[in-house]
Amino acid sequence: MDQNQLPVWSKPSKLVVGIDIGTTFSGVAYAHLSQGFKPFVARVTNWPHQNISLQSSKVPSLLWYDSNGEVVKIGADAENQDAEDAEDLGWRLAEHFKLQVHPSDLGTNHKPKKGPVPIRKIYVDFLKYLIKHTEYFFKQRDQGGASAWSRLFPTMELILTHPNGWGPSEQKLLGDAAVEAKIITGSNIAQRIKYLTEAEASVHFCLFHPNRQGPSNLKHGTKIAVCDAGGSTVDITSYEVVSNSPILKLNETQASACIQAGAIFVDAEVNGLIKRTLAREGISDESTLKDYARAGEKSFIQLVKTHFGGDELAPTEDVQLKIGERQLRIGSVVRSGKLKVKGNDIKTCFDSCVNRIRDGLAGQIAHRGQLPSYIFLVGGFGESPYLKKVLEERFGTEGVCQLITCNDNVAKAVADGAVIWEIQQGVQSRATRYAYGIKVQVPYEPSNVEHRGRQTHVDLDGRTYVSSAWSEIVAKASTWHLSS
């Protein structure tokens, strides 16, 4: 990030922590805001049991629980655990647990797997882990060390990010888990926990990221779109630049979209493809199919997924997925433990999600009547060469719209963006995702088809009324300034 773009902090000193719990990976960033100094956003790295050479701020969203429902492995330590050994010990894995929170209206063909313990406990346990290492990292890296943490933690402000499609009930789960995990303590707890959509955090990350056109190039009236393609959800939001001096300010111009077409659903399609292929070769035992598919899916994620559609691996090239030991041979499709899969079949697995993302972006743009000048592509799935290629073919061919990737391979853009958002507050208005109103009673009109068959009552004035009528206060997709 270009930290020099952030203004000098003029308010009292405080600690801001941004937490992004993703479907596959999570991340934490923080800023020790000191009065009279320019803010510096720090990424929490060196997670326990993580390959230190990677210096990654991404930590796996994984927890192993024993038969008593207690955490035994978490984060990178859980990822390194052999699954068969863990299952022999009676352990159960909590993975992709974020899917359990998604509201039903997001829609997907893949039902979330129930976790080994209640979803709130998973969030509490994971948040405890995240803040514990954040504290250790802060004390090691911040000039004030342990004394600064002790002084600032009781008044710390916490930014929790979530998909566009989440509402108050999902936010409450996050907030309650943070309080139970004792991340937020002391007074004014409700005022010190803030919720931010992943898309809005992403746009703040993009606009302060060095691998893009700087704010000076985003003139008044410039239209942009942000596509945050994550593990489970893809958030799409449209903005218009209203000011670029002294700081960049944006208005949200259209109600944001949230599509459940993230990277894990490509993995699930590959898993299903492996099972179907092996079943045609006579493998019928469910346990065997599951083991082979799990190994093949892991091979796909590690060796194919991030290269498919790029210079290293064209969509037409066949791929080999390791599903077993070298001596394994099954029919004509498995040799030396590797399953041969046609490139077009892998492409079909990608297209199940990529086409929905492309169409979702097109739908956002259609409401505005013109292509944005820039589409910022972020998120783990945003690193896919194939996704980028499809979006460039659809939106970049007219020479009007430029697709910009803002990803940092070792960073969680959303966590960084959440902290920048608290400092910068660059978005000035938002578009409502829902209509807001109240229930009222209205005079009954026999000729009104909407009144027919509805329950009526006679009020004290002697007139007949229809109850529970809708009175709209704010229309869906209307734009409101944040000061309103």
DSSP notation for 136-187: HHHHHHSTTHHHHHHHHGGG-EEEEEE-TT--HHHHHHHHHHHHHTTSS-SS
For residue 97, pLDDT over 90 is answered with: yes
pLDDT given at position 221:
87
Report the largest interatomic distance among the alpha carbons of the chain, rounded to a whole angstrom.
88
Query: Percentage of the chain with pLDDT > 70?
Result: 89
pLDDT over threshold 70, residue 209: no
Q: Contact, 291 vs 369, CB < 8 A?
A: no
Task: Tell me the backbone φ, ψ of residue 122, rounded to 5 degrees.
Answer: -60, -45
pLDDT band at 213 (very low <50, low <70, confident <90, very high): very low
pLDDT (mean) for 159-181: 94
Single pTM value for the model: 0.84
What band does 446 get if pLDDT is binned at 50, 70 and 90?
confident
For residues 301 and 307, give the distance between their C-alpha atoms in angstroms, rounded to a whole number: 10
Mean pLDDT confidence for 424-434:
60
Alpha-carbon distance of 235 to 228, in angstroms, equals 5
| Average predicted confidence (pLDDT) for the chain | 87
User: Region 382-390: what's the mean pLDDT?
Assistant: 94
- Please answer whether residues 66 and 29 qualify as being in contact, where contact means their C-beta atoms are separated by less than 8 angstroms: no
pLDDT of residue 214: 45
Contact 66, 94 (CB under 8 A): no
Of the listed ranges 17-21, 111-115, 408-412, 470-474, the least confidently predicted one is 408-412
Tell me: pLDDT of 55 over 90.
Answer: no
Residues 232-271: tens digit of each pLDDT: 999 999 888 887 766 678 888 888 889 999 999 999 999 9
* Tokens 């326990």 sit on residue: 48
pLDDT at 4 (0 to 100): 61
Percent of the chain with pLDDT over 90: 56
Beta carbons of 37 and 51 less than 8 angstroms apart: no
